[in-house]
Every structure is written in structure tokens, then in C-alpha cells.
Amino acid sequence: MPKPDRRLVPIVSLDVVGYSRLVEVNERQTLRLVQRGYEQLVAATIGNSNGKVFKTMGDGLLAEFQSVMDAVEWTTKLQKSLHERQIPAPGGGFFQVRAGIVLADVLVNGDDLFGNGVNLAVRVQSIAPPGGMAITKWMHEYLGGRVELDFHDVGPQQLKNIPKTVRLFVWHPGGLNEPSNIAAVAPVPALKVSSRPSLVVLPFDNLSGEADQAYFADAVVEEITSTLSRVRDFFVIARNSAFAYKGRSVDVRQVGRELGVRYAVEGSVRRVGERVRITAQLVETDSGNHVWSTKVDGQVADLFDLQDRVAAEVASAVSPSIRRVEVERARAKRPETLAAYDLVMRALPHLWAHRMAENPHAISLLEKALELEPNYVLAAALGAWAHGQQVVYSWSDDVAGERRKGERLLEIASQTVEDDPTALTALATAMMQLGGNVEQAIAFCDRALSLDPNLSWAWMRLGFGLTYMNRAEEALTAFENATRLSPLDPFTFNIHVGMGLAHFTAGRPQQAIQFARRALAERPGLTWPYRDLAVYFAHHGDPAAARDALDKFRYQRPPMTLHSAADTLRFMSPSLLSRYLQGLKMAGLE
């Protein structure tokens, strides 16, 4: 592949001050502030100063300029504007950014810049006072008397991953004689770890022995960070903050303290000839324990496809891995210390069990979570799903009551779900199982997948929705996507339940039997798929096996009739429901 070009350019690195804390206080307001600030103060002005943003990272950005003067003057105007506006930030204080400016020799790859010069800009920015900027000694000498800015000499600084100390000068629009500004130059204390899971993707090591391959390792990290950022089950630190650890041997526990995160993704990229190997692992920062790891091999000619594959695989494995560890963390807590989030984590294993004796425990825990946080959208959506399970698996003799409770929770969740893929999928699941609008449920799945294309559960629920609408072949494609994305997912057996129903819908009862049996073998003790199996055996012409499967389904359940089954399964299209009920009748249900 061609070697990247090199260029000497002024680079500005911007970073939102205290972004992790602001998101923890009020995520929605913080994101609106950042977006509005970018649109009004950056995108609308930077072109007029001969600048161009070449990378955005959620809580910051990197921009290049045609001259040092352009970079400094634009940054000065930005910081003065924020200082004058005094925009309130969530939790008190004002919305501020830090800025670092360097003149750097960088690698150019398309519209992106890489290399130690970019790294230096990020490190210099970390020394800047909140609301101000930091520049190097060379930049300060170059500016001379060309700008009327009162820079303060903070002396030689040891910057992360920079072999020599760098003498820096800092400036703030309000002056640096204020204690709040001077204190900002001091080392930043360790951040408090969020009560909910947070993660950082650390820069991957370039093990190729070729400096030019470093940009590809950076691109892999950026793609993984971007992909994981769509997963709303945990908070992902922006790449700009993670970049400060590039090339530095650091204990992951120190990273956890400095960034306030529970988990870190580490990895490496190695090129040998025309082959590339990418490895990645998920580490718990407080203990240093490895939770999950993988490696992906490919050809140099397929580098971009390869990084997409790695990002998708990491995202599909990291999410359930973190969820599993978070469940164990919640179980280890004393009951009196449980927050709403912990109660949801405790409820998940009971929901995943898909068993009549377990489901009421999930409902109880989710009700307690909603008592603590009445508008907790995920708790409400999962609670609606739990009541949906009571209905669809014939676990309750009060179907109407379960529906009322589930529909009330559906209403709460649907009002505030917005862009949470997991909650959207739980909503879709509950809506189907409670007998609601299947087309609307499919739309929720589509919306979840537009936000997080790697969410296996959403693909699975989409498959069920399409099956209920008699779109069996499309449904099988969705189930296959779910299977590919769920190596560690607790719902794998349910994917096979769905594939069995899709084959039955398409008129293939023998294949349906195979998938239903496979699901039962994967989850010993499960009984509700026997209802499907009874239908499939009946249509396959095996009445004895159909009766036996129906008996296993009815054991210890409330009494069921064809009429009650029709009400329970009313989410199915009329033609599918008619064939399904016919199978139950042939199996002996009256």
C-alpha cells in the first residue's frame, strides 16, 4: 500500500472539561451542549480562519490550520466567547473546553492526520487551564509580539509518551492570577468511578516493526470506539482522552483511576508480509482481570474490511461480557446499598432464565428499581417484557391483569426511550408478547439497529416480528445475523426457537422440529418451547410425539384452552395463528 504523505501543520486539540462527570450528571443536556457548541462556535467559524476539523471524538476534536497565527487567533476567539457567555453546565459551574496548539510533522492519510505530532497536541492540551489554551515554547517565541495575549510560563512539563520535557506557556481569557485558573495547571486527581459501567478503548500497540503501520492501529481503535459508543448500556470515553496513553506502558488500574472507568479494551496490530493480525481483550480495571479476548486475521488488501470486522466482533462480545460482570458485581453488594441500576442488573438473570419460577423475581426487582427511579426507561421496558413473558408463556392465570401492568410500563418507557438500543429492543419484545402492534415493534427493532447494528438481541426480536408477519425468509436472515453476533449472548437458544417458528411459517415443519429440539437441548429445564414442538409434530404427522410435547408444556401451568391460547398468541398474523392453533388441536388441546 502507498506510504502516507507527511505535512508540517499547526494542530489545535480541544477537549470538554470534566466531560465524564457532566455526562454522569445529565447525559442528554451535556450532549446538547456539546453539539450546540460545535455547531455555533466551531463549524460555523473555523473555515473563516483557514481551519478544518479532521477528527471528532465525542468530548473533543482535532483541527488543522494553514498558519500558526490562524490557529491561535481562532482559539482565542473561541475561548473568549465561552468565557463571556458563561454557559451553565449540568451539576453547576460553566461549560468550558481546554485547548492545546502545536506545530507538528504529521502523517496524512486521506482527510485524517496521524503521528507523534497529533499525540503532542493532545498532551499539551491536557495542561491547559479550563477555558484557556497551552502552547509550546517554540510557538510562544514565534508569536513574539504579534498577538496581545498574556501567556504564563509554567516551565518544563513531563508529558505522557513524550521522551523529553516540553516547556509550556498557558493563557486564559480571565487571566491566570485567579486561584481557580492556577490550580487547573496542577495534576488532575483521580476521577470517581461511575455507578454504572464505563469503558475506554486504549491505543493499540503497533507490533509490525513499521512506523507507517501505526496509523492503521489508530484507525482500528477509532472504529472500535465509534462502534462501542453506539451501545448505550455503558459509557465510552472518547478517543481523544484515551489517546493520551499511546505508546506508554501503563497499569490498567492506573487508567481506571485516572479516567474513572471500570473496563478497558487493550489490543495490538501485527503485520507480517501481506497478513495482519489484530488482537483485543477486555480488562476489569479495578482488579486487572481479563474478562474476554479475541484475535482476527486478514489480508493487508482488506484492511478496512478487517477493522470493521474487529469493531463488530469486539462490540458484540464486549456488551454481554460487561453485562455479565455487572450482574456479578450487583449480586455481591449488600441489599441496603443497591441503586436502581444494580436492581436491574440483579433482575437480568431471572429474565434470561425464561422460567416460570424465576420471572416473578425479575418483576419484583424491576418494581423496586422503578420506585427509586420512576422514569428509568430500561427498568420500565424490561418490566413490560417480564409481564409479556407471563402472558406469552402461559405462566399466569390472570392474563388480562398481566397485560394491564405490562402496558402501563410500555407507556412509561415509550415516552422517554429515545436513542437507547437496549431499551428499544426490550420495548419491541414486550409489545409483541403483550399482543400489541407488531409493525410498531418491528419499527422499534429497526430503530435500535440503526443506532447499534451489532445488537444481537434486536436482530433476534426483528426475526420474531417478521415471522409473526409471515415474512419467514426475511426473518431467517435476521436470525442468522443474530447468531453471528452473539458468541456470548444469553439469548442464543431463543434464536433457535425463532428459527424453528420461521421454518414452520414457511411450511417446513421437519426443520422446525430440529430447531426446537436444539433450543431445548441448549437450555435444560426449559419447557415453554414444547408448545411449539407439539404444533410442529402435529403438522409433521406424528400425533403421539405431539401429545407428549403438549403434556410437557402443560405440566404445572395454569389450565389452557384453544381459546386462551388464541388470546395469548394474538400477535401472530391470522393465517399463522390459524395454522398454529390447528396444530395444538391435533395435539389434543380443546
**Please, what sign has the CA dihedral across residues 508, 509, 510, 514?**
positive
Task: Lowest mean pLDDT of 204-213, 257-266, 374-383, 388-397, name the range.
Answer: 204-213
Q: Which residues make Cβ contacts (< 8 Å) with residue 570, sequence separation at least 6?
A: 435, 577
Nearest to 527 by CA among 429, 435, 393, 399: 393
Mapped onto helix, strand or coil, the DSSP state of residue 268 is strand
In CATH terms, 5-184 corresponds, of 3.40.120.10, 3.40.50.2300, 3.30.70.1230, 3.40.50.300, to 3.30.70.1230
Per-residue pLDDT, 240: 63
pLDDT of residue 31: 82
Better-predicted residue by pLDDT, 213 or 337: 337
In DSSP terms, 103 is beta-bridged to 10
Mean pLDDT value of segment 484-513: 88
Query: DSSP state, 397?
Result: S
Determine the average pLDDT of the residues in 521-528.
88
pLDDT at 580: 97
Pull the grid cell for residue 237: 470515553
Average pLDDT over residues 462-482: 95
Report the pLDDT averaged over residues 246-269.
Answer: 81
Over residues 197-225, mean pLDDT? 76
Q: Which of 522, 537, 531 is nearest to 553 (CA)?
A: 531
Domain residue spans of the chain: 5-184, 198-331, 333-453, 469-590
Question: For residue 303, what are the contacts with CB-CB under 8 A and spacing of at least 6?
Answer: 1, 216, 276
**Given this model, what pLDDT does residue 74 score?**
95
For 83-97, write each residue's pLDDT tens digit. Answer: 888 888 887 778 899
Where residue 489 falls among pLDDT bands split at 50, 70, 90?
Answer: low
144 pLDDT exceeds 80?
Answer: no
Q: What is the average pLDDT score of the chain?
A: 84
CA angle in degrees (0–180, nearest 5) for 78-80-83: 110
The grid coordinates of residue 236 equal: 465510552
d(CA 152, CA 150): 7
The SS3 of residue 206 is strand
Mean pLDDT of 179-193: 42
- Would you state the pLDDT for residue 184? 39
Say if CB 399 and CB 564 are below 8 A apart.
yes
Percent of the residues in the chain that have a pLDDT greater than 90, as a whole number? 38
- Residues 6 or more apart whose CB falls under 8 angstroms from that of 202 comprise 221, 242, 245, 252, 255, 264, 265, 266, 267
Q: Could you tell me which of 339, 436, 441, 420 has the C-alpha nearest to residue 387?
A: 436
Closest CA to 388 of 405, 374, 371, 370: 405
Same fold, 198-331 and 333-453: no
- Backbone CA torsion sign across 341, 20, 427, 405: positive
Domain formed by 198-331, architecture: 3-Layer(aba) Sandwich (3.40)
230 vs 487: which has the higher pLDDT: 230
Which cell is 475 given?
A: 426473518
Render 93-113 in DSSP notation, one character per residue.
Answer: SB--EEEEEEEEEEEEETTEE
Grid coordinates in use for 46? 473555523
pLDDT value of residue 188: 40
3-class secondary structure, 371 = helix
Rounded to 10 deg, the angle between the 543-554 and 529-540 helix axes is 170
pLDDT-based confidence at residue 522 (cuts at 50, 70, 90): confident
> Mean of the pLDDT values across residues 385-390?
95
Question: Which homologous superfamily is 333-453 in?
Answer: Tetratricopeptide repeat domain (1.25.40.10)
Give the residue with greater pLDDT, 420 vs 574. 574
For residues 550 and 318, give the distance between their C-alpha atoms in angstroms, rounded to a whole number. Answer: 39
Is residue 69 over pLDDT 80? yes
Residue 515's contacts (CB-CB under 8 Å, 6 or more residues apart) are 496, 497, 499, 500, 503
Q: Please give the share of the chain, as a percent, with pLDDT higher than 70.
A: 88
C-alpha cell at 68: 500558526
Q: Give, in degrees to the nearest 5, the angle at Cα 387 between 383 and 389.
A: 115
- Asked which of 107-121, 171-185, 212-226 is least confident by mean pLDDT, the reply is 171-185
Instruction: Give the pLDDT of residue 531.
Output: 96
pLDDT above 50 for 178: no
For 395-450, the pLDDT digits (tens) are: 999 999 999 999 999 999 988 887 788 899 999 999 999 988 999 999 999 999 98
Return the closest-CA partner of residue 98 out of 125, 77, 123: 125
* Residue 239 in this model has a pLDDT that exceeds 90: no
Range picked from 283-297, 480-494, 524-538 for highest mean pLDDT? 524-538
Asked if pLDDT for residue 187 goes beyond 60, the answer is no
C-alpha cell recorded at residue 93? 459551574
Contact 382, 345 (CB under 8 A): no
In angstroms, the CA 569 to CA 563 distance is 10
- Give pLDDT, residue 247: 65
Q: What pLDDT does 182 receive?
A: 36
Taking domain 469-590, whether its CATH number is 1.25.40.10 is answered by: yes
- pLDDT at position 213 is 61
Predicted local distance difference test score (pLDDT) of residue 186: 39
Q: Are strands 166-171 and 152-157 parallel, antiparallel or unpaired?
A: antiparallel
Concatenating the DSSP letter of every residue in 109-163 gives: ETTEEESHHHHHHHHHHHHSPTTSEEEEHHHHHHHTTSS----EEEEEE--TT-S
pLDDT at 555 over 50: yes
Q: Which has more confidence, 133 or 190?
A: 133
Of 142-146, 178-182, 480-484, 490-494, the least confident: 178-182
pLDDT digits (tens, 9 = 90+) for 279-313: 889 888 888 888 888 888 888 777 677 777 777 77
The structure's pTM equals 0.62
